Amino acid sequence: MTVESVKPAHPASPTGPEPIEPPLAPGAVPGLGHGGKLVRDPLGFLARLRDEGDVVRLRFGPKTVYAVTTPQLTGALALNPDFHVAGPLWESLEGLLGGEGVATANGPLHRRQRRTVQPAFRLDAIPAYGPVMEEEARDFAARMASGEPFDCTAESFRVAVRIAARCLLRGEYMDERAERLCAALATVFRGMYRRMVIPAGPLYRLPLPANRRFNRALADLHRLVDEIVAERRASGRRPDDLLTALLEAEDGNGAPIGEQEIHDQVVAFLTPGGETVGTTVMWLLQVLTEHPGHADAVCAEVESVVGDRPVTFADVHRLSHTNNVVVEAMRLRPVVWILARRAVAETDLGGYRIPAGADIMYSPYAIQRDPRSYERHLEFDPDRWLPERVRAVPKYAMRPFGVGNRKCPGDHFSMALLTLVTAAVARRWRLEQAPGSNATPRVGITLRPRRLLVRAVPR
């Protein structure tokens, strides 16, 4: 189906040429709108919205936000140049992490930035990262051997940041810096979410311990990035990596890009690179505890593909069941559970009128768990991704890395490392949740298990 041919599938949708106003979702409370519902049960609330229409209006105090609920229209939204990356989520990211990174830029600046960074993430660039990914995946699995409950939050975040930093900002120093980056990023992400959901500006300027911790971590993150950039410049080295691409990038007039842009770009890659991958690793560990049969199947596949030797990057494309386990985990537990855009002009989206300046959102969590798109939608079934069954999945019903010009540049990079980590762990250990573990989802900037502790039993 082409984007132009996308029309609303909901029976109540208009078919006439004049776009109409989307329906208001039920349950708005005077003054508050739907804010209470979103705070109390964001996942359930968003998952039910499609019953109300393909596009629905939500009220948050005086503000109207448009929610898109069908796979087809989320594709149309992501592919339409009339919608930009903007809105409260992005403004909050910009304020804290810097305004010149690729994740918050739009238009020609965004296009130029994507051209600069893309070579580091192309499919043919990924094999060069293989040795680091293999080593980190093996060390990660080895760290489970202590016999103590394994703290998945800290360790998953650590492996994600270490791989992103060691691959994309190559350098011997990265080992120690990667540890400091992990600590800073963990605190920054916790605090950023709080600042987004409770936008109580002045409160965050008070000299409270939590605010001090947050400010220290944010300052440390920026200082670390400055140090990494300065050391690379001083070394005169030009390894084939993202940092070299940024240091040699030119703006639209052929001049080198500014220091601030280089800095913000490094931050713009380390932050999603750590948080999204780390959180997905946590969900994969949770899946291995919850579905021992699938964990055994992963182990059997790894053994049949690699025999006695360690699993390597070159094996990844033959680990098809392992890959399907990763994809199915990402379907049911998408770490990026909500995405937002802003309309730059009045636009017709599937027959609905979206005014200029409107904020629009959609939830990959709701889309990827929708019973209209998936048979036995809540069942963990990696085989639904087998070639003969995958055709039944509607277009845009499974896009955990997004669609269109904002599609995640780290998609191939992430899939390779997630498959390697899952293979390395499942081959060596049977995982069980340890006492005190709580894997219920916690909604933050990403969707993550509340506190996952596992015990690793040797196979």
Q: Which residue is nearest to ligand HEM (CB)?
A: 410
Question: Closest distance between ligand HEM and the C-beta of residue 202, in Å?
Answer: 30
* Contact flag: residue 225 with ligand HEM (CB under 6 A): no
- Helical spans, DSSP H, in 236-258: 242-247
Assess 447 for contact with ligand HEM (CB under 6 A): no
CB atoms inside a 10 Å sphere around CB 405: 13
∠ CA 449-365-316, rounded to 5°: 75
Residue pair 401/411 in contact (Cβ under 8 Å)? The answer is yes
Of positions 102, 185, 224, 423, contacts ligand HEM by CB under 6 A: 102
Q: How far is the CA of 49 from the CAs of 66, 396, 428, 447, in angstroms?
A: 11, 17, 42, 19
Site for ligand HEM in 103-142 (CB under 6 A): 103, 114
What is the per-residue binding string for ligand HEM in 271-310, x denoting contact by CB under 6 A?
A: -xx--xx--x------------------------------
CA dihedral sign, ordered 210, 148, 452, 89? positive
Burial of 155 (0-12, 13-18, 19+ CB in 10 A): buried
In the region spanning residues 159 to 198, those forming contacts with ligand HEM, defined by CB under 6 A, are 164, 168
* 389-408 positions binding ligand HEM, by CB under 6 A: 400-402, 406, 408
Question: What's phi and psi for 341, nearest 5 deg?
Answer: -145, 170
Query: Of 235, 214, 218, 222, nearest to 266 (Cα)?
Result: 222
- The residue from 267, 268, 327, 454 that contacts ligand HEM (CB under 6 A) is 268
Nearest-angstrom CA–CA distance, 113 and 376 = 41
Instruction: Supply the minimum distance, in Å, between the C-beta of residue 330 and ligand HEM.
Output: 6
Is the Cβ of residue 218 or residue 281 nearer to ligand HEM in the bound state?
Answer: 281
Cβ atoms of residues 154 and 184 within 8 Å: no
Q: How far is the CB of 425 from ligand HEM (least distance, A)?
A: 16
The number of residues that bind ligand HEM (CB under 6 A) is 26
Tell me if 14 contacts ligand HEM by CB under 6 A. no
We find the least distance from the C-beta atom of residue 201 to ligand HEM, in angstroms, to be 25
Find the length of the chain. Answer: 459
Could you tell me the two tokens for 101? 């990174």
Contact track, ligand HEM, 324-343, x by CB under 6 A: -----------xx--x----
Q: Does 157 bind ligand HEM (CB under 6 A)?
A: no
User: d(Cα 244, Cα 232) in Å, to the nearest integer?
Assistant: 9
* Least distance (Å) between residue 382 CB and ligand HEM: 16
Q: Which is nearer to ligand HEM, 311 or 329 (CB)?
A: 329
Helices 152-168 & 174-197, crossing angle to 10 degrees?
120
* For ligand HEM, the closer CB: 97 or 141: 97
Q: Residue 45, interface with ligand HEM (CB under 6 A)? A: no
Residues 410-429, interacting with ligand HEM (CB under 6 A): 410, 413-414
Using CA atoms, how far apart are residues 116 and 420, in angstroms rounded to an integer?
Answer: 27
SS3 98: coil
Decide whether 43 or 434 has the Cβ nearer to ligand HEM: 43
In sequence order, what are the beta bridge partners of 399? none
Query: Does 33 sit near ligand HEM (CB under 6 A)?
Result: no
The count of other CB atoms within 10 Å of the CB of residue 48 is 16
Closest CB 167 distance from ligand HEM, rounded Å: 8
Task: Report the interface residues with ligand HEM, using CB under 6 A.
Answer: 78, 85, 102-103, 114, 164, 168, 268-269, 272-273, 276-277, 280, 335-336, 339, 400-402, 406, 408-410, 413-414
